[in-house]
Amino acid sequence: MNFDRRLIYASFAAFVVYMLYLFFGPDYVAYPLPSYTSEEALAKIEQEAEKLGLEPIPEENIYYKEIVANSSLGRYIDANELSEEELLALHEEVAIQTFEVSSFLQVYGYDMEHERLTKAESIYLEKDPDQFVAEYFGEQYEPKGKETDIFGDTILTYVKETKYPDILDIVEVTVNEDVIIGFEQYGLARGFPKAELSVVEMLASLFVLFILIGLVAVATIHLIVKSAKKQIEAFWEPLMLTAVAGFGWFFITKALGSGSSFFSMIETLMMIYLTLVALLIRWKKSTLTFRERLIKLQPSVVHGLALMFISVLLSEAFFFFAKFFDAWGSPVTSHIVLSQLDLWLIPVFTLFIGLSAAITEEAVFRNYLVPIFDRVGVLFSLILTSFLWGIFHIGYHMYPWYLYVLEFIVITGPLFYFAYKRYGFTTAIFLHYFYNAWVTTIFLFTVDVKVALVSLFVTLSPFLVFLAGKNEQAWQPEM
């Protein structure tokens, strides 16, 4: 394959516009970076839970750990373009972000600034709600409301004014038969409603699980049929590529705060299995030497990087305009990595968040599903693969919760579909790799420039394939 010069020119233009946007575009205030480790946060949560007479979550039962930004305050901050000093002053008044830990049933949220629990679910506390709020959060809170949720539990609401006229400090206490079974404290900005877990979002999460199980079943049957017909052309190459992706996934899940229990790892294990099955089904045997294969990858690396800058620019444009419709994405999604890993290990995270996600998701959503759905029609295939790929990303903190799904259907999915159809599977992998690695590297430039430069080198490491020699065919001028 020759280098696509038109794509390279378009990419250069996209790169220039993107750089101009980064340096001269709107300024987004940076949230405080975590100055603590996950272990320190868990220790504080355990101490605070025991102080209240609550059961802490054993480490072996942890499902996830994450740093969560308040979406109501986040949209208020963006809409009013608060400065860093104003944001820190607001954070002293009411938590703009908290550390959360969860098991299958229990959840605890902790405000590291004010050193107290802000959230607890599935607890058992025999105490009068009014007394509990006054003793734990302060006597300034006034009871303002009472309602019954869909489970028949009573939710009591307490409100405190802050020094900001548009922001209220809220405490909600959930009671069942005179026993406190949960509570949450949060800031609420007028005009920016709290993001609630909707029934549709819960159904979407279940839908993802059913789709994943269905994909495992269908792909397994497909593999058995192809094996019976002796149509599997390779084994060791797909296995080695899956092993690389699998090792990376275990590193990524630890870095992102997932627990080590089987329940918390089941989705990851299923995706690793799907990676292997999808690669086995689609892999074509090659007689090229290892050096020849590296040389053949050269156009894919260049095209992947070129498409990445176009993709990043289009995604930035989507989220920029989405903000005018009260859309919001959490600015602290990557902060959990800083509390989980040593700073100099994050470039390794850059490598694996690029490599593992690229191998797995391109193997499944493009190389396996696209040929199947293309039989129905190109538009059907493009929309459905984009939708399925997007809905697998609904765990990100967004407002509204389906914002990422919409972006995948409108921007990212079609572009990746085009990359796969026009330039092939390996180009789609490199596009995905560069995209994820670039996003992580850009974040690191706000943390530590030296570490970010190492991460940038890691991001560009696929260009090492050019050390294998020159692809004479690729360098021929296009006719």
Angstrom distance (rounded) from CA 340 to CA 252: 10
Residue labelled with tokens 């050193």: 115
Angstrom distance (rounded) from CA 30 to CA 17: 22
User: What is the model's pLDDT at position 444?
Assistant: 95
Q: What residues does 184 pair with on adjacent strands?
A: 119, 172
Residues 6+ apart with CB under 8 A from 323: 78
Residue labelled with tokens 């706000």: 446
Q: What residues does 328 pair with on adjacent strands?
A: 399
Q: Using CB atoms within 10 A of its CB, is residue 353 exposed (0-12), middle (13-18) or buried (19+)?
A: buried
The pair of structure tokens assigned to 44 is 């504080």
Residues 6+ apart with CB under 8 A from 453: none
At 99, is the secondary structure helix, strand, or coil? strand
Determine phi and psi for 283, rounding to 5 degrees.
-65, 135
Total residues found in the chain within this entry: 479
- Distance of alpha carbon 311 from its chain centroid, rounded? 17
The pair of structure tokens assigned to 153 is 């539990």
Give the CA-trace dihedral at 323, 329, 331, 332, to 10 degrees.
Answer: 160
User: What is the model's pLDDT at position 202?
Assistant: 85
User: What is the model's pLDDT at position 471?
Assistant: 66
396 contacts 68 by C-beta, under 8 angstroms: no
- The widest CA-to-CA distance across the chain, in whole angstroms, is 81
- Distance of alpha carbon 337 from its chain centroid, rounded? 12
304 contacts 8 by C-beta, under 8 angstroms: no
216 contacts 249 by C-beta, under 8 angstroms: no
Q: How far is CA 352 from CA 21, 221, 247, 256, 437, in A?
A: 27, 30, 9, 12, 8
- Per-residue 3-state assignment (H helix, E strand, C coil) for 243-301: HHHHHHHHHHHHHCCECCCHHHHHHHHHHHHHHHHHHHHHCCCCCCCHHHHHHHHHHHH
For the whole model, what pTM was predicted? 0.93
360 contacts 276 by C-beta, under 8 angstroms: no
Residues 6+ apart with CB under 8 A from 41: 65, 99, 101, 110, 112, 339
For the stretch 239-279, pLDDT in tens is 999 999 999 999 999 999 887 766 668 889 999 999 999 99
User: What is the model's pLDDT at position 1?
Assistant: 61
325 contacts 400 by C-beta, under 8 angstroms: no
At 138, is the secondary structure helix, strand, or coil? coil
Residue labelled with tokens 């049929």: 225
- Mind listing the pLDDT tens digit of every residue in the chain (479 residues)? 689 999 999 999 999 999 999 998 888 788 999 999 999 999 999 999 999 999 999 988 898 999 999 999 999 999 998 988 999 999 999 999 999 999 988 999 999 999 999 999 999 999 999 999 999 999 999 999 888 887 788 999 999 999 999 999 999 999 998 899 999 999 999 999 988 877 788 888 889 999 999 999 999 999 999 999 999 999 999 999 999 999 999 999 999 988 776 666 888 999 999 999 999 999 999 888 889 999 999 999 999 999 999 999 999 999 999 999 889 999 999 999 999 999 999 999 999 999 999 999 999 999 999 999 999 999 999 999 999 999 999 878 889 999 999 999 999 999 999 999 999 999 999 999 999 999 999 999 999 999 999 999 999 999 988 887 776 666 554 43
- Per-residue 3-state assignment (H helix, E strand, C coil) for 361-413: HHHHHHHHHHHHHCCCCHHHHHHHHHHHHHHCCCCCCEECCCHHHHHHHHHHH
The pair of structure tokens assigned to 174 is 């959930």
Q: Using CB atoms within 10 A of its CB, is residue 148 exposed (0-12), middle (13-18) or buried (19+)?
A: exposed
Domain boundaries, the chain: 5-26+198-469, 38-189
